[in-house]
């Protein structure tokens, strides 16, 4: 429906106004009628389209009806098709008649000037601004959806800058403009028509701190890009400088969050000043809506690009082994040196890689966890850069941060369909405490942020039964060539006991666990099986994992055929009573395509092969996966972590576009 404006007329003197292309003017026929008038007719110049709306019918003028009854439910409507060449070049005249009189008893004259005013953005999500698009005021999801997209300009294209690009209110490099979305204002009309009007570009009061806008003021030099809207700047008076088109570059300042839906509206308003000393009156408004691109996580099934790892004392062999695996997978290895990590090896816990995407561009974004260990500065100082963004959420009270706020406790599933509902970008997985009055939970600011992104609706699991409390201690995903394209791997004490019992029955009860491992006491299969305390605690831990198994099946739409049980035992911590891995945690692996870097378990050696390694290979190699077992015992396992905890992977984005999701 076209935007309509009510115009009052006067039989005493001509009225002049501006008509904006694409709108409708509804004339106050009855209000301008002289006393005693009973009918009227309407005439207009060639550039004017006239319609009479009467009793639900719309008739174009001229029509077979010479005069119209002057009734309250009758309406005269005007449209025009092209901008005027001269001011007041078109006219409309309403003549009023009394009873059946031949001559008009009074006339009301309207002078019209047609102008074009249009604020346009990439509503079709094609990477190109769409001119005069319809429904610009709405943003809709899905393949048939419409509405423009905005990137949070959270990278740092200018390396010597102190902060992210969206914090400086200036354009330092042309590359910075590519991170912004183009918004074009088109104005067209006869010379001088806007002298008596003001054109104002403005942002909603609730959105001014979420966006920044730069006006390209006629030139291509960087200093000509003027910051006009943003925090503290709600409106901008558009100058009448003779240019029909004005380009504005819009950058995002904030990701969607609990107090921000992600939608931002911009308005161009034409203001008329009816008389000196009085406020301006709005007579036209055009509105466009952007949605801020969400931060999106990448699952193990996506192609790896680079592997991050920390170099610390005594882990040179581990770094070398991971490097070999990265070479096999065709990945770049990025080593954080000790002077930067300051002895903190847990790079998975410090940050999570994701990305943002708009039709014209996308780039990776690192999410910095609130754990704030010795690696605290690395995401900002070592990762943030040109076309590599940064975001962080941390609570005001940092004492509320627990181990559950480290990002080993933040994973994402591959794409799934659940009871007909599609999650083409997967679902985020976070660990929390079992529903009770005690326990730890991921801090609210992080959870709120993850939920607000909308496109990877989180699933909350129970991980507080573990000392460290991370979901990556009992689950991971690996790619598969069949079914859903992946398998969920779950740590399984029950599967481990079955395997050990089988080996004992085969006559290998004296085979030793931890054989040749320094600082670890060797123990036979028979002794492990006879350790009732170990068995009872693992029976409980299996129940904890089974609780999560049921949640994952329900929330990810999985069946038992989608799950592989990986043999694993846990032991009870003497200090907290919670669980730690009894031997290196096999599911806490590094997944690089088909190449898996798995913690070497140092299980019982039977026929010159570790029976745990053999079982894992039996389970995974039929899927086309290559298993490499890496010794992390002294450097990571004894410090309550494994390979996944000590590495991080940046992956290619989804080919699926997030705006095609239907949340």
* CA atoms within 13 Å, Cβ hemisphere of 597: 28
CA quadruple 371, 373, 377, 382: dihedral sign: negative
Cβ–Cβ under 8 Å, residues 366 and 651 = no
Strands (E), 98-244: 106-120, 148-150, 181-188, 197-203, 211-216, 225-229, 235-237
587 φ/ψ sector (left φ>0, alpha ψ -120 to 50, else beta): alpha
Enumerate the β-bridge partners of residue 265.
289
**Distant-in-sequence, close-in-space partners of 66: CB < 8 Å, separation ≥ 6:** 41
Residues 439, 431: Cα–Cα separation, whole Å: 11
**Distant-in-sequence, close-in-space partners of 74: CB < 8 Å, separation ≥ 6:** 29, 30, 52, 53, 54, 68
DSSP 3-state of 621: helix
Residues 518, 41: Cα–Cα separation, whole Å: 104
Active-site residue identified among 310, 610, 617, 645: 645
Instruction: Tell me the C-alpha to C-alpha distance, in Å, between residue 646 and each of 321, 343, 370, 482, 525.
Output: 13, 12, 17, 30, 29
Phi/psi of residue 204, nearest 5 degrees = -60, 145
Residues 384, 265: Cα–Cα separation, whole Å: 29
Cβ–Cβ under 8 Å, residues 423 and 458 = no
Residues 563, 490: Cα–Cα separation, whole Å: 7
Place of tokens 């719309």: 58
Number of Cβ within a 10 Å radius of residue 148 = 28
DSSP 3-state of 281: strand
Number of Cβ within a 10 Å radius of residue 110 = 25
Enumerate the β-bridge partners of residue 18.
113
**The tokens of 494 are what?**
């029950």
Residues 126, 417: Cα–Cα separation, whole Å: 27
SS (H, E, C) 21-72: CCCEEEECCCCCCCCCCCEEEEEECCCEEEEEEECCEEEEECCCCCCEECCC
Instruction: Tell me the C-alpha to C-alpha distance, in Å, between residue 526 and each of 523, 534, 604.
Output: 8, 13, 11
230 φ/ψ sector (left φ>0, alpha ψ -120 to 50, else beta): left
Q: Please, where are the H alpha helices in 159-286?
A: 174-177
CA 550-500-616 angle, to 5 degrees, is 65
**Does residue 114 have an active-site annotation?**
no
Phi/psi of residue 198, nearest 5 degrees = -120, 140
Cβ–Cβ under 8 Å, residues 50 and 92 = yes
Place of tokens 């009227």: 40
Place of tokens 């940064």: 390
Cβ–Cβ under 8 Å, residues 511 and 503 = yes
Let me know if 79 is exposed, middle or buried by CB neighbors in 10 A (0-12, 13-18, 19+): middle
Enumerate the β-bridge partners of residue 524.
512
- Catalytic residue numbers read 645
């Amino acid at each position: 429906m076209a935007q309509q404006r009510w115009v009052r007329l006067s039989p005493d003197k001509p009225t002049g106004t501006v008509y904006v292309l694409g709108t409708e003017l509804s004339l106050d026929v009855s209000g301008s009628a002289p006393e005693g008038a009973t009918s009227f007719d309407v005439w207009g110049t060639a550039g004017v389209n006239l319609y009479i709306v009467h009793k639900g019918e719309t008739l174009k003028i001229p029509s077979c009806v010479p005069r119209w009854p002057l009734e309250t439910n009758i309406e005269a409507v005007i449209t025009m098709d092209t901008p005027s060449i001269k001011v007041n070049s078109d006219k409309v005249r309403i003549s009023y008649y009394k009873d059946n009189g031949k001559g008009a008893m009074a006339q009301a004259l309207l002078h019209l000037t047609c102008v074009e005013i249009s604020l346009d953005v990439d509503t079709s999500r094609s990477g190109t601004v769409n001119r005069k698009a319809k429904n610009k005021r709405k943003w809709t999801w899905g393949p048939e959806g419409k509405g423009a997209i905005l990137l949070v300009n959270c990278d740092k294209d200018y390396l010597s800058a102190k902060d992210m690009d969206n914090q400086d209110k200036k354009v330092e490099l042309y590359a910075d403009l590519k991170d912004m979305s183009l918004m074009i204002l088109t104005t067209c009309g006869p010379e001088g028509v806007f002298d008596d009007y003001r054109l104002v570009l403005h942002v909603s009061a609730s959105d001014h701190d979420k966006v920044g806008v730069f006006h390209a003021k006629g030139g291509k030099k960087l200093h000509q890009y003027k910051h006009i809207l943003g925090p503290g700047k709600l409106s901008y008076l558009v100058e009448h400088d003779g240019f029909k088109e004005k380009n504005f570059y819009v950058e995002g300042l904030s990701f969607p969050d609990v107090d921000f839906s992600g939608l931002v509206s911009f308005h161009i308003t034409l203001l008329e000043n009816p008389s000196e000393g009085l406020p301006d009156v709005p007579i036209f408004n055009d509105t466009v809506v952007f949605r801020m691109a969400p931060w999106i996580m990448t699952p193990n099934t996506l192609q790896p690009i680079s592997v991050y790892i920390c170099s610390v004392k005594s882990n040179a062999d581990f770094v070398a082994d991971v490097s070999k695996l990265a070479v096999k997978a065709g990945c770049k290895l990025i080593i954080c040196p000790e002077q930067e990590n300051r002895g903190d090896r847990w790079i998975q816990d410090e940050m999570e890689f994701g990305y943002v995407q708009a039709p014209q561009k996308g780039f990776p974004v690192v999410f910095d966890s609130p754990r704030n260990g010795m690696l605290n500065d690395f995401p900002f100082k070592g990762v943030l850069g040109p076309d590599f963004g940064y975001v962080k959420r941390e609570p005001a009270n940092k004492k509320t941060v627990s181990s559950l706020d480290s990002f080993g406790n933040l994973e994402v599933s591959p794409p799934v369909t659940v009871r007909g509902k599609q999650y083409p970008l997967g679902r985020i997985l976070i660990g929390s405490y079992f529903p009770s009055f005690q326990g730890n939970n991921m801090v609210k600011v992080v959870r709120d942020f993850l939920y607000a992104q909308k496109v990877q609706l989180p699933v909350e699991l129970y991980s507080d039964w573990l000392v460290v409390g991370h979901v990556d201690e009992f689950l991971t995903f690996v790619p598969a060539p069949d079914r859903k394209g992946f398998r969920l791997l779950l740590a399984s004490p029950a599967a481990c006991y079955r395997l050990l019992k089988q080996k004992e029955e085969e006559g290998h009860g004296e085979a030793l666990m931890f054989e040749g491992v320094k600082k670890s006491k060797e123990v036979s299969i028979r002794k492990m099986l006879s350790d009732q305390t170990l068995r009872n605690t693992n029976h409980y831990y299996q129940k904890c994992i089974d609780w999560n198994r049921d949640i994952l099946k329900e929330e990810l739409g999985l069946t038992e055929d989608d799950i592989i049980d990986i043999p694993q035992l846990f032991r009870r911590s003497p200090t907290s009573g919670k669980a730690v891995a009894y031997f290196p945690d096999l599911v806490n692996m590094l997944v690089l395509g088909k190449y898996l870097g798995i913690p070497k378990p140092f299980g019982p050696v039977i026929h010159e092969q570790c029976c745990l390694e053999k079982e894992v290979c039996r389970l995974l190699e039929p899927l086309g996966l290559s298993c490499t077992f890496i010794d992390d015992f002294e450097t990571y396992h004894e410090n309550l972590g494994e390979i996944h905890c000590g590495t991080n992977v940046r992956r290619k984005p989804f080919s699926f576009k997030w705006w095609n999701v239907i949340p």
